[in-house]
């Protein structure tokens, strides 16, 4: 069976892809997106996800129950599952084995923070999947680097993490933001550990069209099904044009990413897709 591992990037259409695949009869994808198992193992400092935080979340909910306070059943179930998943790769695999059905040709998950995983982590994942008689199918989606970074800052603002204007100065040196945009590093790690037929790299700017859906389905070896392109999911609020000062600083800082992608995928193609190239 094929095992889908969506590794990002964040703010690059992964929520839409998760929705599409969750409705495909030949695919079992985790009901909730972002399991954060392997980034907790191999990139916890940059991603901010750890087993300890999952345990603390579960302990908090159980404490509320013991005190007679209301707790949503769904929230408790997710907390239990997330902690269970953090117990190791065998628990992770068991999570999928229990849920996959006879009609499924693919199982897997999408966690954008996996783009932060180093080569050694991807090597571990690939070896683990192959040893479990699963065929790795890794999907990585890229977006214009300046736009991706700015979109993350906008989402952070919407979530109350920080005002976009306050985040400009630190964004380019914050690992949780900067490294998610270093496609050059992620691609080098992925290409060094996975075979060509195990890796699919897409552009966000080309994602929402029938031809890309066909490419995805053929990569996963499932029937091509029509997709709904009418709405974007998990979109950040529109707060206007990108701040000129941030745009110039980010473009200069991320030049290595633009150049690496132009070398890999062709300068004309990247120039046509990414307006800040």
Burial of 8 (0-12, 13-18, 19+ CB in 10 A): buried
Mapped to the 3 state alphabet, what secondary structure does 89-140 carry? HHHHHHHHHCCCCCCCCEEEEECHHHHHCCHHHHHHHHHHHHHCCCEEEEEE
The pLDDT assigned to 243 comes to 80
Closest by Cα among 70, 243, 223, 234 to 168: 243
Q: Residue-wise pLDDT tens for the chain (277 aa)?
A: 999 999 999 999 999 999 999 999 999 999 989 999 999 999 999 999 999 999 999 999 999 999 999 999 999 999 999 999 999 999 999 999 999 999 999 999 999 999 999 999 999 999 999 999 999 999 999 999 999 998 888 776 654 455 555 566 677 878 888 999 999 999 999 999 999 999 999 999 999 999 999 999 999 999 999 999 987 666 555 545 788 888 898 999 999 999 999 999 999 999 999 999 9
Using the 8-state DSSP alphabet, how is residue 160 labeled?
T
CB atoms within 10 A of CB 244: 8
Distance, in Å, from the CA atom of 275 to the CA atom of 277, rounded to the nearest integer, reads: 6
pTM metric for this prediction: 0.93
Residue 79: per-residue pLDDT: 93
Radius of gyration of the chain (CA): 19
In this predicted structure, what is the pLDDT of residue 239?
44
Q: Rounded CA gap, 6 and 138, in Å?
A: 6
């Amino acid at each position: 069976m094929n095992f889908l591992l969506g590794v990002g990037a964040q703010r690059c259409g992964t929520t839409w892809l998760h929705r599409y695949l969750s409705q495909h009869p030949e695919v079992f994808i985790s009901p909730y997106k972002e399991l954060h198992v392997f980034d907790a193992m191999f990139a916890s400092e940059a991603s901010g996800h750890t087993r300890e935080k999952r345990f603390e979340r579960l302990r908090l909910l159980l404490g509320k129950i013991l005190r007679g306070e209301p707790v949503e059943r769904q929230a408790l179930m997710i907390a239990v599952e997330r902690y269970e998943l953090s117990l190791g790769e065998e628990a992770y695999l068991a999570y999928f084995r229990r849920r996959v059905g006879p009609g499924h040709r693919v199982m897997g998950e999408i966690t954008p923070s996996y783009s932060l995983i180093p080569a050694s982590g991807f090597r571990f994942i690939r070896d683990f999947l192959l040893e479990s008689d699963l065929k790795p199918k890794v999907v990585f989606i890229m977006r214009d680097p300046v736009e991706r970074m700015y979109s993350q800052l906008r989402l952070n603002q919407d979530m109350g993490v920080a005002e976009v204007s306050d985040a400009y100065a630190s964004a380019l040196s914050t690992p949780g933001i900067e490294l998610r945009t270093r496609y050059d590093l992620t691609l080098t790690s992925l290409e060094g550990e996975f075979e060509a037929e195990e890796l699919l790299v897409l552009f966000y700017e080309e994602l929402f069209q029938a031809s890309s859906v066909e490419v995805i389905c053929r990569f996963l070896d499932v029937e091509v099904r029509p997709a709904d392109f009418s709405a974007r999911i998990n979109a950040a609020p529109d707060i206007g044009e990108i701040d000129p000062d941030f745009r110039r600083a980010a473009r200069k800082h991320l030049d290595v990413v633009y150049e690496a992608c132009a070398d890999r995928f062709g300068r004309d193609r990247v120039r046509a897709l990414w307006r800040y190239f």
